[in-house]
Structure 1
Amino acid sequence: MRDATDFVISVAYWPLTARGFALNTNLLETNLINLGVVLALLVYLGRGVLSNLLNNRERTILHAIRDAEDRYKEAADRLDQARARLRRAGVRADEIRMNGLSAVQREKRDLVNSADGDLARLEDSKNATIRFEEQRAIEQVRQQVARLALERAVKALDIRLNNELHSDTIEHRIGLLKGMAGNN
């Protein structure tokens, strides 16, 4: 700042023209001097402001970059965590799928075994029922055959037996019984 004041003061002490204080009408000359003065003042006075603005802007940009890098790292960490969770979920889904498939196979096998057992029991029950019905039918046939045979025998005896044959048969049987009683 001191340089600027010295410059302005030194300009004030320039010797005045012989005619006194006058206006310079040469536009090119006056604009260059004015521009030089303005530029010198701007450079001298604005240097601190401009450097402060640039430093502030640089700090703001660096801070924004650091924040962006931090957010990027956080996002990358969250992405890695999400990928890890996704892998774990995929593994768990595969386990559940495999457990489901094995459970389905086990249930299918159990159902087939149960159906086979039920079928075998039904087959055994059917066979037992058939055997029972066969035995009952055979017993009925035997009873009918025995009844018919007895009826035929009675008819045949009635036809063949007369009183004399009947008496001889009774005496013969009595004799047999006496012989058995004598042997004991």
Structure 2
Amino acid sequence: MKNVTDSSISLVYWPSAGGFELNTNIFETNIINLSVVLGVLIYFGKGVYNLLSLSNLLDNRKQKILSTIRNSEELCKGAANQLEQARARLREVEKRAGEIRLNGYSQIEQEKEDFIKAASANLEQLEESKNETVHFEQQRAIEQVRQQVSHQAVQRALGTLNIRLNSELHLRTIDHNIGLLRAMKNITD
């Protein structure tokens, strides 16, 4: 970042006399460096086009997984709200407990524990559901990418085979296989 700042500062030179000059030293202004970097990026960027469909597929899966995670997080927030409501209710119960302590302290304690257990169980279930959904979506995305990659590999192999398989090679392959079959027949006889 310092070089970019230095180069932009060095484009304009303010001498102490108050004049304006342009810095024409191309090594200080990084024009050559930038053109080399752009050339390399353009040259190597051409091969990336074949991977765009795979990249798009991965981006789509990523968006679906992120959406699922967001939904799970919203469910988790809902559970947290429920937990907060349960805590508010717990505070009410504790207030009431002070008023009716003489009549049923043990009953109030049991109610408090039940609320806490129910809220904790609810939160744990939602967390497990979120984790299972994320894991399932990850496995599904991995399987889909595997299928796409294997399909592309088969297509490339068929293309290479069709390009390299000419009639002479085809006839030699057939003759070779016939010879193998004859040799197998002679062995079995």
TM-score, with length taken from structure 1: 0.39
TM-score, with length taken from structure 2: 0.38
